Every structure is written in structure tokens, then in C-alpha cells.
Structure 1
Amino acid sequence: NAFFIYYTLLKALQKGHSWQVHFLQGCIAQMLVEIFLNETLECVWLNYMVPDLARKEVQRVHTVLRQVIEQITDKANDVHKKTVLFLNAPSYLFSSTKVAQSHAHLLESVVVLNFQSHLPGELS
């Protein structure tokens, strides 16, 4: 970059005073366009337009997640009382299930305790 600044200064000495004034005006115009037009459009695009494009999908996902959480918490007591599987491997083998049983009041515990499988480990 220093070389190009040096080269521009040498060219400015060759071209004369009027070229230097026009060059300075061009530099100022370029900075104003960059600051007021390009940066403003970039801020509008990144902070408003892009989030607005994804807003509907994010709201849909949020709604689905809320419904799933409500279903899990509503059925949590029934699921633990009536286990469908003859053998529930997570209740015997997974430490996360033991921790969830000791902290049953947490929402995360409800999610962990709802996982049931008769297959142990990576097979499940």
C-alpha cells in the first residue's frame, strides 16, 4: 500500500495542480459514497432485510418447538407411570437419566426422561 501511495504522489507531481484538485475531489466523492451509500445499504441489508427473510421460518420453528415442549410436559407424568417398553435401557445404563431423575423439576429432565429405548448404547 505504501508503494501505491508513493506512486500516486509521483504521478500527482507530474500531472500538475488541476489534476491534483480533481483527484482530491474524486477521493472525497468516493469516501462520501462509500460512507453514506454503501455502508448504509450494507447495514440495512444485514440488520433488516436478511433477518426479515428468515423471520417467518424462525417463527414457524418457534411455534413447533413450543408445541413439542407442551406435549412433552403434559404427557411427562403419564409416560413415566406407564412404560410401553418391557426393558428401558436408558433408565439402567445412561447417567443422564440418573441425573434427570434426581432433578425431575427441570424441563431438560423431562426431555431426557422421555427418551425410551430397549437398545443399549450406540444401537439406540
Structure 2
Amino acid sequence: MSLATMHLAGPFGHAIRRVHFALCLAVAACSPQAPAISLEAVKAAGDPMVRALMGYEQTHGHYAASLQEAGVAPVVTELGAFQYERRGEGADSYFVLFVGDYTRHGQVLFWNSAMEPQGWLT
């Protein structure tokens, strides 16, 4: 039996466990929580990018190969930087614009220009 086990099994073991539990609760209650991410703010930040990419397609007949080609500056939000992918070629191309990471934020927000109706999806 280790010293720690003997200590918790001794006459004051129950009281020590209760104090330990209370300290854990206090630490959890006082720990700073990550601020809630406003999806509406992230969508609003991405809307100008979507409009610019759609405008590029209207002018050129296909979507740009990159944000740089479309003249769109990458936007960084609470979920990270927006990522752009053009899929397909020529008139059959479409794009996906997305931001977030399930492992870090628990969500991903994306726009797929080939989906109907158009709009942000999570």
C-alpha cells in the first residue's frame, strides 16, 4: 500500500477526499471558460468573400483557382482563417468556403456553391 493510499484510508481519509473534491469543484468554477463563438459574426465576416467569389464566376464563367486569383483577402475569425477550395473545372466548377475545426472548436461552418438553397451550413 502506498503512502498516498494509506493516507486516504486512514481515520481522516473521508474528510480528505471531501476537501479534495471541494477544491476540484472550486478550481473548475474559477477556471476561465472559452468565450462562446458567434456563428452570426463568422458568417457576416465570410459573406463578402462569398459575394466576391460569386462575382468572379459571373465575370469569368468559372470560379477562381484561389482566393488570390479572385482578389479576395483571406479573413481570420474566431474559428480561424477561411479556407477556399475550387472543385471541378470550367463551367462545371463550384467552390467550398469553410472555417473551423471540429477538434478545436467543435464545429465547422461552410458554404458550398453547388448546394441549393445557398447559405451557410454547419
Q: TM-score, normalised by structure 1?
A: 0.36
Question: Which of the pair is proportionally richer in helix?
Answer: 1
Question: Which of the pair is proportionally richer in strand?
Answer: 2
Q: TM-score, normalised by structure 2?
A: 0.36
Computing the radius of gyration from Cα coordinates, the structure with the larger value is: 1
Question: Highest relative contact order (Cα 8 Å, sep 6+), 1 or 2?
Answer: 1
